[in-house]
A and B are shown apart, each in its own frame.
Chain A
């Protein structure tokens, strides 16, 4: 296969690398770099390959015809006794790769050779409270700094060349159950982060900081009734109560410990100037204790990045009783219908429904199931609100220690969990890493105690099929049709990447990084990384060659909460590695 169109970038990149080698000063990451990512194929400076989080690379040096020649270039160990739970997406800037490892660590590695440039290990207190393993999902880059959030809920800025701490700020109190596991993002000169801790009855919030010095700029609570603030010259100025006032969708004082943690961070849509964040489960899990919709739990929020004001919300699971967090990424994309361009956003929810929203106002366009079995709701109404199957809500315990148990699908770990899907602009399809599983769930009495688990529920998770749990699906967001599926024995827990080369990449807990034909779903390449792949793969161009990188290192939530599923995964071994592959130059011409 010949590709004359490749010549120009190839020469350009050679020129660029020659300039780098000649000692030209390296540019700091700017707002423009971030907004245009991944237009410059030599760098990845956003989580999601672009602020919209489409995870689509315009590179096609590597394609479905030559992917079988993709081979490892180097590997890098996360070392020592901290191998498990590698979930980050690497970033690449000026030939350096930046990523987090588990246990709140950051690494900078030479992208050409895999040589470690520096490592930062946060010193964690003994009483951190991550609900779901010691993972982290990556860094943000801006200026000369590298940012990440820690398991004890700090935001830390490191010098990109030395790894030394430039500043560190406590975002929230880890003793109350707060932690940070998502990658922060920088939009228009503001560093924005969410928090985790919905299992401890924290109050979710989204905060913006000055990347230069860590000064707090605004904070927006994600539970109705809590005041938001903007900060000027160190002074807090009231900026409106989230939801207007307390008590509209929560009974009594429950909103004070309402959860709704935006633990997966968010993305940004430049066309509407909106931050798009998801929020987690309401606390406690026992829904009988909190009649009402419990805003803004299990929702998608659109925020003004300047001051954190909520512009619109869409609640996927009102009055959630199954831990169906609404955190999953809301990915902006445009499509044409009846000659009109629709500014849409799509999300594949924990609750099993795939939603397409109008991202200018949050209105529901359409929704449909993306897994085979959903029992908690029979469908969605015209506004996208679920039509509940009341028999699938676990009973109130009353005076018994335990309420009636029900079998529900999907399981609380979700039809899709944190692992980000990808949207391919050429095929118009979303590639969704999903899982087919259900659970027995029952409610129990619970009272809030600071820093203690605030669930009021018990559960055990069960596979729905003997031969698979994970299903990678290609979904048409316009028709709701599943175009293809690829089954996997263990539950999928890794992010997805798609490219102009008609490729879809994702990893499996069994340790394979796999590539699929984006149009047909045919598996066209795989590589055994030695441990389960939970990370999100990336691809970029360097010295005229296309590279692919992914973190490997089994861990995360599944082995901790796995119930009967644990049998399928108990023999998976740990091993934290960063794998980098490339298509050698001389093999591009061959095909």
Chain B
């Protein structure tokens, strides 16, 4: 809902005049849900199906609880306001609301849960108020959202909540920050286990400048894996909050 309000505030007025004239093009994946999600996630705002938003996922989910997903909107570098991702046929479809700010490229790697074969979407809002929707399909045997957590079967898991493993890997003109956060990411769909998931993360620089902001949802896998591409050097901090109010603060090279 708040996405929609933001959208109205930020984007509706300037685009209203020529909204009708934008041709979204053909949906590259077969979907029975697009109209629903266009309304629910994007508030019926103007959009285009755009193959410049690359959504990379394996053709088949070998492990439906840990499906690697890469969202690449670097074609819109400098223009991106936010990136929303969802899995259309998941019972809890939302994956992430990613806002790359200073020095962070519009690229994100994340692992997700898949309940069944589904279209995946990443909608990139650019500064001109238009959503660019990247799409892909993933096949799956299924059950990734309702399978019990692996973490919880390990004794003492509570002691490790919020522990962050991470490192920086230099590329040519940027470096890739990869992290894994210990957290069960319980989505509330396993009987008797309430929702318990990281819902907010911030990446900050050593001088406390906000580099990126993420809202996370329970479609993200347990022990979330995240990767960001960052321009420039310097230590980073990852600040994490879960829906139980636990806060974690990790320094990463």
Chain A interfacial positions (CB closer than 8 Å to B): 80-82, 105, 121-123, 125-127, 156-157, 164-168
Contacts and interface: CB of A to CB of B under 8 A. Distances in A.
Contact of A121 (B184, B194, B246): B194
B163 interface: no
Nearest to A157: B245
B244 interface: yes
Given A123-B196, A126-B158, A168 B246 contact: yes
B192 interface: yes
B191 A165 contact: no
Contacts of B184: 123
Contacts of B188: 121
Residue among A121, A123, A127 having the largest count of chain B Cβ atoms under 10 Å: A123
A122 B192 contact: no
Given A125-B158, A126-B158, A166 B196 contact: no
Contacts of A167: 245
Contacts of A122: 194, 244
Nearest to A165: B245
B196 to A, nearest CB: 3
Contact-residue size bin, chain B (C-beta under 8 Å from the other chain): 10 to 19
Interface of B: 152, 157-158, 184, 186, 188, 191-196, 243-246
Given A125-B158, A126-B158, A166 B245 contact: yes
A81 B244 CA distance: 21
Contacts of B158: 125-127
6 contacts: A80-B192, A121-B194, A121-B195, A123-B186, A165-B244, A168-B246
A168 B194 contact: no
A63 to B, nearest CB: 42
B245 A156 contact: yes
A121 B158 CA distance: 17
Contacts of B152: 126
Nearest to A152: B158
A77 to B, nearest CB: 16
A123 B195 contact: yes
Nearest to B192: A81
Nearest to B241: A165
Contacts of A166: 245
A123 B244 contact: yes
A126 to B, nearest CB: 7
A126 B186 CA distance: 14
Contacts of A81: 191-192
B194 A123 contact: yes
A133 B188 CA distance: 23
A168 B244 contact: yes
A148 to B, nearest CB: 12
Given A105-B194, A127-B158, 5 more contacts: A82-B192, A122-B244, A123-B186, A123-B196, A165-B243
